[in-house]
Chain A
Amino acid sequence: MNETKLWKSLEEKAAITAGGAPKADSHDRFNPFSNDFLSRREFLEWSGGMAAVLGAAGCTRQPNEKMIPYTKAPERVIPGKPLFYASAMSLGGGSLGLLVESHMGRPTKIEGNPEHPTSMGATDPFAQASVMGMYDPDRSKVLIQNGQVTFWGNFSTQIAALMAMHRAKKGQGLRILTENVISPSLGAAIGELLKTMPEAAWHQYEPINRDNEIDGLKQAFGKSVTPWYDLKAAKVLVSFDSDLFGDLSGVRYSRDFAEGRAIATGKKDLNRFYALESQPTVTGSIADHRMPARVGDIESMAAALAQKLGLGVSGKPELNPEQRKWVDAIAEDVQANKGQSLFIAGRWQSPAVHSIAHALNASLGNTGKTVRYLPTIEIRADKNSDSIKSLVSAMGSDQVETLVILGGNPVFDAPADLGFVNALEKVKTRIHSGLYLDETGSKCQWHIPEAHYLESWSDLRAHNGVSTIVQPTIAPLYGGKTHLEVIAAIAGKGDKSSYDLVREYWKSQLGGDFETNWRKAVQDGVVEKSAGGGESVAVQGAANWKWTPNTGELDIQFRPDASVWDGRFANNGWLQETPRPLTKLTWDNAAVMSPNTATKYGLKNEMLVDLQVGEDKVRVPVWIQPGHCADAVTLHLGYGRRMAGRIGNQVGVDVYPLRPSTATWLRPGATIKATGSTYALACTQSHQNMEGREIVRHATLATFLGNPTFAQHHEHLPKNVQGLDVGTAGGEYAPKAEADYQWGMVVNLGSCTGCNACVVACQAENNIPIVGKTEVTRGREMNWLRIDRYYEGDGENPVAHHQPVACVHCETAPCEVVCPVGATVHDNEGLNNMVYNRCVGTKYCSNNCPYKVRHFNFFEYSDMTTPQLKLGRNPDVTVRSRGVMEKCTYCVQRISAARIEAKSENRKIRDGEVKTACQTACPTQSIVFGDISDPNSQVSKLKEASLNYSLLGELNTKPRTTYLAKVSNPNPKLEAKQPEQGAHHE
């Protein structure tokens, strides 16, 4: 009917909401006491209008262009049957190859693409949560010019006129600012544009960038290359403060690392991992040896190692005896493993440390074996800090008339000292294209809603240079445009769609029969033979590498956040509510510091402190984190967004004001002062100690080899009780006559890094709602799968253990007997089922569950009204309403789907045919699910391993999910930090 008018008024409403003062508790949707309560109601009113629009547009929003599904290619979409399309997601100059599950033209779930080198079938939490990001009702929905709603045609005519003017001046006054571009077609388009307008310039900036790595590589080799590590080939790994597994490419790296310690399947010569860390990361938590050290200490240790191993690094590193011991031990270990060792420097380490790491790899013969050097995968490897600096100075001196900002949010995250906002205001025409009308978009005259990657045709390079064609699974939900389309409009190519533009580019790249090759490339998600060749490198001038020891009393360290990254995911509720891997905080950032540092400054958890360096000051709550290095405070970036949306506004503290261009990662010389007030943080795990209970069982390799069954000696069960058999494939689990399958799971604690991919995957697969910060503080988070994190040993440098815990599907389940209405029942295949329809919500089952894996809908947590969110839900899983209990179902919907498939082909379900959402997401393949009545299934074989044990097996719950004990491989020459469980047991 009156679509335009409705859209207009919606946007007016949105603009008012976005521009108005953000409410303190805006993410806290269910608190009847919060101020936001009414505005939520208001929101529902206009989202009703949205429902009408979407209803008018029809249910299916498949793009018009020809998409090509990954494996199966039915002639048409079959209702109820999902299709998988290969695609890829980019983040911070890296990419992850994906398969997008689409139900009737609606993407609902992300899986990894097994053929893609960065994914190998697994994903990270960001990719898992990107579905939520696409449906986000707060995304910008209309093109805006000077605060007024306009349309694309208007933009393209006006921009054509503007560009005619610039073209006449050879592009003088035109600047383009992007994030680090790894899309070949976009890169080519910008390159072409710059060719026609040589005076124009292209800048790239992201707050989380590779500057130090680029500098380090240039310093070491004299040229720009990208390193690609082969962790499978590495026997000894040394990390200089690298978050190898939590950072980009962590998915592939953790997979390769885990293969080097597949002890459950018989591997005996495990790899060994030394991690020097300035702050705890998932990477360090899986290391055999971990040392918390200040950034400067790590530099000194790297320099000392370099000197010891014969590199001509100058200077005199001062080490304490413990550090000296480490350097000696590592040096000995890597020399014994030449060509099989690997040094990796973290992105926040100085260029010198990067140079040293690469030089060490070269001198130990690792180059070409454990590390290869490829041409840079960025189309142009810019040092981001230089690039933005030159842009700001150009803007400040009135050399920029037109600035096109494609993605990114520089108003929020540009270095604080540059004065980006002031300079920006001097630019006459400012054009912004982004997913949200954010801090940057609101400062520009033009705002173009960007198409989400799930709505776009594009292409991306992986870390080894392999390209992927990004294909959409849904037509742009909010009429977004891709960057490629914006560039095309600027270049005067008119209104070409990105489909045509991407095809055009690849026509020039793919040889042979284009249509066949294109079809194959799109379908597989990888373009054949697009990997970059190896670059030969030679180390030069080590004597000039300038490393810096610690300076100042207290360092401030800036780090990307495990949930919001640089702030771009701030409005993604799934990520906001995912407990950060080690702190277990949700919905906030904090001044993270070690226990000793907190004591030194008289601080306690949740105290608000003023952190100050020079004139710059932020006020943050304290969080004490065992394993953090002393005399440093870590601040995670990306919080305190002002215009992120209703979820992300005013969540946490914006720490960018403390981050100048001169101190991207480390700002020494800080002072810290308690303000006297406190601030509540929402932590999901308040107790870190196992209290002497044998929850996570672990031993060193030596202990394991001497006593392979160490993990199974823990339950002291009466011998004469029948069926007290904990978790092996036989016995109690022998297949029952009436059932073809007995489902079970094994979780390998030895390779779990705690990365959270499984947690978010479970949330996406099972329509798990978010509850908001207040509800989390009250202990009501809903994640079916949680990762427990325990510490053992010294508070300054404890050993961390991760243990994913979801419903373990007890054979004799305590929850089932106490439910008065039979809402939780056992089926003949061993699943403990939850019947939502029948549940009356007595919560007795949860009280009686020793694992506390049940979650209750205390309020109506599921958003039943926002139409976009309805589209994104998994249609095979019930959306639970208020007052019912819920928990892990072993992805029963996937079992059913496989069963239907198998029955139609008159066969049994094959091993590996049913994979749970957590299992497919896991980068280290730590989770294995299958039929335990089949002795040949992978899960049965793992349950036969001597490492297999039942959590709380002594309660005789006979859980179907069992755990494989953790085995570490410490260097006997370094005092084992691992408290030995296996050794002291009789």
Chain B
Amino acid sequence: MSDHSRLEAVIAPGYTLTSVTDKIGDIVTKDPIRKGWVGGLFLGFIGLQLFLMTVLMLFEFGVGIWGINIPVGWGFDIINFVWWIGIGHAGTLISAILLLFRQDWRTSINRFAEAMTLFAVACAATFPLLHMGRPEVGFYWVAPIPNVMGMWPQFRSPLMWDVFAISTYGTVSLLFWIVGLIPDFATLRDHADKAWKRNIFGVFAMGWRGSAIHWGRYETIYLILAGLATPLVLSVHTIVSFDFAVAQVPGWHTTVFPPYFVAGAIYSGFAMVLTLMIPLRKFYKLEDFITMRHLNTMAKVMLTTGLIVAYGYLIEGFMGWYSGSVYERYMLLNRFIGPYAPYYYALLACNVLIPQCLWFRSCRRNIPLLFVMSLVINTGMWLERFIIIVTSLHRDFLPSSWGMYYPTIFDWSMFIGTMGLFFSLLFIFVRILPVISIFEMRVLLSEEAHKKSGGSHA
């Protein structure tokens, strides 16, 4: 055990099995309701109301309340959709893929990241429904329901694939999360101070007694779900990218989209985890469990995926030029000198230029800087979707049909509203469920202790 690895501990020294349980479990069971939490939930709740109001306006007047038009048929609706679904990638990646790769540092962040995933997917999932002109029929016509008309969805459409990809991803993520929660539900059941709490946690614990058979089944199902979720991490954003890549609009019709979208999704997902994790660990004093090691590693993942995204931009540009197509070349030119050029430069700054400082360890260990960086990357990834959708559509083949897209107040209220939805769910989550997996931390603790006392594998 070197000095270096002690510095990089995934859990601070001095914890016992009991103190881990108390430290995490008490947030749910004992901690008094704090003013900060109430304030945060209140803000989230305001945002949620904004969301509901916008949806009401949307149903009353139609999608015309947004700034979309012909030629720009998709605007903030699809930008937000792709942005949220991208954010929803980090959780499953951390839980499933890192589990399979036996990255033990994932333990203290996976629960939280998974919850964030689910909430982000919930936000994202509103848009495929709400962006439709007629959601009242659209929500079931895109599903393959046998009917007397013999009408099926049109299976060649990427939007169709989207429906399957997202619903599958959402379902598997939810299952994965709930299964992972069962042992902790049991802990809380045993830990709770009031009978009604014990009853509720008891129902969700599904009779968990911690027997060896339970643990054996748990390990099996968790591994199977991890196996199922792993390809989904890659497939969901691949299919989301097909919404664009399958179309023939210059700026969309690109083979680099699937890998570049997946990398971008992980990029923004990790950024969002950092955005949320840094205040959370401070607020609930979880610095001992979410250590510098975690932040450092996540910064490295961001740096890597950021470079892949940068490569994507490069290839996009190269292919636009190399294709020799006047439309592709104009699309490229339009990004650099067109009316939306400032946003493109902002995107390059946020996603490519600024994150390069993550090469330096001092930056990766500077928590305020990391927090700012995560915000910058989230902004950059949102801008990326804006650039892809709006600048490609607004000037395509026939100059006569060129137009501009200006978001309206309802575009913004919808966007801010989904954040309200997201934060409302998140704030409720941190109060009613353990934000860190208790039992996995205990496992980790014993493994760490084992390592210290003679170290089998090192």
Contacts and interface: CB of A to CB of B under 8 A. Distances in A.
A326 interface: no
A780 B69 contact: yes
A817 B398 CA distance: 21
A838 interface: yes
Of the four ranges (under 10, 10 to 19, 20 to 34, 35 or more), the interface on chain B belongs to 35 or more
A394 interface: no
Interface stretch (B154-162, B184-192, B351-359, B435-443): B154-162
A838 B393 CA distance: 25
Contacts of B403: 686, 779
A814 B422 CA distance: 36
Nearest to A954: B325
B134 A818 contact: no
Interface in B90-107: none
Contact of A847 (B73, B152, B395, B406): B73
Interface string B38-71: 0000000000000000000100011111011111
B133 A857 contact: yes
B401 interface: yes
Of the four ranges (under 10, 10 to 19, 20 to 34, 35 or more), the interface on chain A belongs to 35 or more
A691 B132 contact: no
B157 A818 contact: yes
Interface stretch (A293-301, A515-523, A730-738, A819-827): A819-827
Highest count of chain A CB atoms <10 Å: which of B70, B72, B330, B406: B70
Contact of B397 (A685, A803, A952): A952
A839 B62 CA distance: 15
Contact of A821 (B72, B138, B243): B138
A859 B57 CA distance: 12
Given A819-B154, A852-B70, A839 B133 contact: yes
Interface string B109-143: 00000000000000000000001111101100110
A461 to B, nearest CB: 40
Given A686-B402, A686-B403, A691-B330, A847 B74 contact: yes
A858 B152 contact: no
Interface stretch (B206-214, B245-253, B275-283, B303-311): B245-253
A841 B70 contact: no
Interface string A755-789: 00000000000000000000100111000001011
Contacts of A843: 68, 73-74, 131, 133
A851 B397 contact: yes
Contacts of A691: 326, 330, 399
Given A778-B69, A805-B400, A847-B249, A822 B63 contact: no
A818 B400 contact: no
A850 B248 contact: yes
B326 A847 contact: no
A955 B401 CA distance: 17
B156 A817 contact: yes
Contacts of B137: 840
Nearest to B133: A841
B153 interface: yes
Nearest to B156: A817
Nearest to B159: A820
A695 B70 contact: no
A963 interface: no
Contacts of B398: 693, 695, 788, 805, 850-852, 951-952
A844 B133 contact: no
Nearest to B405: A779
The secondary-structure label for the interface of chain B is loop
Contacts of A952: 397-398
A30 B60 CA distance: 12
B159 to A, nearest CB: 4
Nearest to B389: A847
Contact of A840 (B141, B327, B393, B406): B141
Interface in A807-835: 814, 817-822
A848 B248 contact: yes
A219 interface: no
Contacts of B157: 817-820, 844
A302 interface: no
A690 B399 contact: yes
A50 B243 CA distance: 48
A858 B63 contact: yes
Contacts of B9: none
Given A818-B159, A840-B137, A883 B67 contact: no
B367 interface: no
Contact of A842 (B62, B138, B395): B138
A857 B327 CA distance: 28
Contact of A820 (B153, B393, B399): B153
Highest count of chain B CB atoms <10 Å: which of A819, A821, A822: A821
A675 to B, nearest CB: 25
A854 interface: yes
B133 A838 contact: no
Contacts of B248: 814, 848, 850, 955
Nearest to B141: A821
Contacts of B138: 821, 840-842
A310 interface: no
Interface string A642-656: 000000000000000
B70 A821 contact: no
A859 B326 CA distance: 35
Contact of B64 (A822, A848, A858): A858
B411 interface: no
Contacts of A951: 398
A884 interface: yes
A695 B326 CA distance: 12
Contact of B134 (A687, A689, A883): A883
Contacts of B163: 820
Contact of A852 (B133, B327, B396): B396
B70 A780 contact: yes
A756 to B, nearest CB: 15
Contacts of A688: 399
Interface in A375-417: none
Interface in A76-95: none
A822 B69 contact: no
Contacts of B256: none
B247 A818 contact: yes
Nearest to A780: B69
A778 B159 contact: no
A882 interface: yes
A253 interface: no
B70 to A, nearest CB: 6
A892 B151 CA distance: 22
Nearest to B330: A691
B228 interface: no
Interface in B389-419: 393, 395-404, 406
B132 to A, nearest CB: 5
Nearest to B403: A779
B400 A790 contact: yes
A972 B401 CA distance: 35
A696 to B, nearest CB: 10
A433 interface: no
Contacts of B154: 817, 819-822
Contacts of A851: 397-398, 401
A969 interface: no
7 contacts: A780-B69, A817-B156, A838-B151, A841-B134, A842-B133, A843-B74, A844-B159
Interface of A: 30, 32, 685-693, 695, 775, 778-780, 786, 788-790, 803, 805, 814, 817-822, 838-844, 846-848, 850-852, 854-860, 882-885, 951-952, 955
Given A691-B326, A841-B138, A852-B401, 7 more contacts: A790-B399, A819-B157, A822-B152, A840-B134, A850-B397, A858-B64, A882-B62
Interface of B: 57, 61-65, 67-74, 131-135, 137-138, 141-142, 151-154, 156-160, 163, 243, 246-249, 326-327, 330, 393, 395-404, 406
Which 5 residue pairs across A and B have the least CB separation, nearest first?
A: A841-B133, A883-B133, A858-B64, A840-B138, A843-B73
